[in-house]
Structure 1
């Protein structure tokens, strides 16, 4: 028997949850505080990347973060502040930056990412979506020997997990991307990775869900949750009250605020990233990550996107021009024939990515509330893990056997 389900959050996670819940016969409503055409689900690099098996909280990241803190052009910036929630998150993040955590997490990240690739393609085929989707792999481009060593090490870890990854020299890179001038000494190539054009999929998914009867309430912020005996009975927005049998928290970086309503102190910080688009011809046909600069390059449908930086500075949609210029500068250093102009840089947009302390998503129910399923904390991997997360949410609510082992994603895990 179908249930009434309210999903808080209309990004990739919320939409995919709605898709699979509807397929299971549930009556679904989505609430989002925006108009559902902005944010991380629209400005991301579009990667579906099993290659990203190393969580953000990897050995050496905290040390780099401290070093980069005083460099306005650095790819990672953590703003120090005497906020108790931030300090708890930072301590947990620091504890997670170890080799054992990376070993423990790799298989789980691979499994959810590979499942997402399969489900993404299945949705496009089943629903006859026209969304751009390509299987061209991912280049990791390096300009220094130090970066080369790191990337080769990562590729070996990926290979040990059964992913297609190999070292490449400059000659190999020119065979993969023959029509572009690239300043690189070599790198690695992950044939296992795919890419897409995010807004196309989001538009088609919203249209499909509306057609099949999913209800949408946009520009409505959830301001309170009514709870009785450990169960949510209603959600309140500034305009109305909605009741349901089950609720899904897929509100990205805002999930931590709402989780407090049920007495759950979800360790979560917002990580801001930027994107710059150019409609001009770049001749780039294969996605790449500029290793030292941590900038993603994606040839999308009709344009090329450059995305990067991680600013952990709290909830803010402001655009830091210094960071935007850093992305543009890095692009020109690796691709000397590609120079982003002032108009393109002024058109830059940002999105907030929800960061858990250990770099793994929160997927499941908390002991604090029986009918709330949480799906957030995916960091830079929200797009890569979106479809699989949606399916997992549906399985949890439908009381079905989970497609994956969810123990590492448990809501109440200790850090």
Structure 2
């Protein structure tokens, strides 16, 4: 048995604690927040084996530069004279290649499938009540050009063994009879699932407390004390925390803490927004509005509209222009659905840690022998959460990992 401290209480931190606790380790979670808001609570709740293409893909940087002057665009990169941002931007641009996509596809698919299946295992084993459905995911297209692009990606997914099919507008209307569409057609990924995030998070926190996991909320790590190539302790406000092993799962803040260890994790905070509607809108299928990059999820008691990737540093300011963009996109695809002013005013945001190549960092850095890194999942942190937690537990328990982690190595070069 080892004493393990996890820095970060989001989906990655909680799932790491879950599997480490199952292995018999003594686990403590330290988080600088109250652990009831942020990306793990406001995401679209998707479990997405379909998302096989990393964020860093051919043409994305070009689009990002084009959209830089449009604050309502799906991807908004705010230029800053900041050394870390400039290094990340250079690496991101370099990673927007066919080579990066080709070496990432199988690794992304495998960890997403593992994560999706582990949600089912957790629900069954612990008798959790959180919503977990496997209806699939629609990629809804308004233009022939986008439909052709989605079909091209779907064909790649088919080669990877994923069940996917093209749907005409009439087939769409058969699946969603209570919705009026303004679209050409869609691609349906039958392999995907969806959840209601905050319900899972609350159930998992309760389970972990009852299982003996210690929580320190609203406690920021101010300093990391090293003894040679190992961490000996963490300093928080007036407390010193010691352990045998440490897990860095602090999301967008991970790169700040990693600097204290001489580890240069290239990460940028990618802000996403969500709007909830408790009205019955007739939407029963999880759907991504392909051109607008807006995700729509029928959750437990409400419908969630989520989207945008705003890379503008670490902040939780609500940009009303981007909230409005989500609402406007929704009405373009669903002419009969209008998001109310009150719903828009209640919008929330979360920060997703984005690596330059769109791949998570999972594993041990050569620069610190008792630290396991688990961050950088971008838009797929929710989908990959349980898989990452299990992999972290396997690493710390000195077991053979369920997946090959070479593609996720924290020391990889860009």
TM tier, shorter chain? over 0.9
- Partner in structure 1 of residue 69 of structure 2: 70
- Secondary structure of 1:222's aligned partner: coil
1:40 & 1:73 partners in 2: Cα distance?
20
- Rounded to whole Å, the distance in 2 between the matches of 1:140 and 1:43 is 20
> In the alignment, what sits opposite 1:367?
366
Cα distance in 2 between the residues matched to 1:102 and 1:168: 26
1:132 aligns to 2:131 (yes or no)? yes
Deviations 1:303-354 (A, max 9, x none): 0000000000000100000000000000111111211111100000000000
Q: Distance in 1 between matches of 2:306 and 2:69?
A: 21
Q: Return the offset for 1:403.
A: 0.1
Spell out structure 1 runs of 4+ moving beyond 2 A.
Answer: none
Normalised to the residue count of structure 1, the TM-score between the two structures is: 0.99
TM-fit CA distance, 1:235: 0.5
Q: Please name the residue that 1:28 is paired with.
A: 27
1:217 corresponds in structure 2 to 216
Q: Distance in 1 between matches of 2:259 and 2:159?
A: 40
Is this contact kept in 2: 1:220–1:239, CA < 8 A? Answer: no
CA displacement 1:266-294 (0-9 Å, x = unmatched): 10000000000000111100000001100
Q: State which drifts further: 25-34 or 141-150.
A: 141-150
Distance 2:94 2:328 in 1: 34
- CA–CA separation in structure 1 for the residues paired with 2:299 and 2:167: 24
1: CA distance between counterparts of 2:69 and 2:168?
33
TM-score by length of 2: 0.99
* Aligned partners of 1:182 and 1:336 also within 8 Å: yes
Matched residues, number: 414
Q: How does 1:332-411 map to 2 (within 5 A)?
A: 332-411=331-410
Match of 1:253 in 2: 252
Task: Summarize the alignment of residues 99-138 of structure 1 with structure 2, pairs less than 5 Å apart.
Answer: 99-138=98-137
Structure 2 gaps, min length 5: none
RMSD across aligned C-alpha pairs, in angstroms? 0.6
Counterpart position of 2:160: 161
* TM-aligned CA deviation for residue 145 of structure 1: 1.3
Q: Distance in 1 between matches of 2:239 and 2:273?
A: 34
Asked if 1:268 is matched to 2:267, the reply is yes
Q: Secondary structure at the match of 1:354?
A: strand
Structure-1 separation of matches of 2:271 and 2:398: 35
For each residue in 1:106-152, what CA deviation from the matched residue of structure 2 results, as whole angstroms up to 9, or x when unmatched? 00000000000111110000000000111110000011111111111
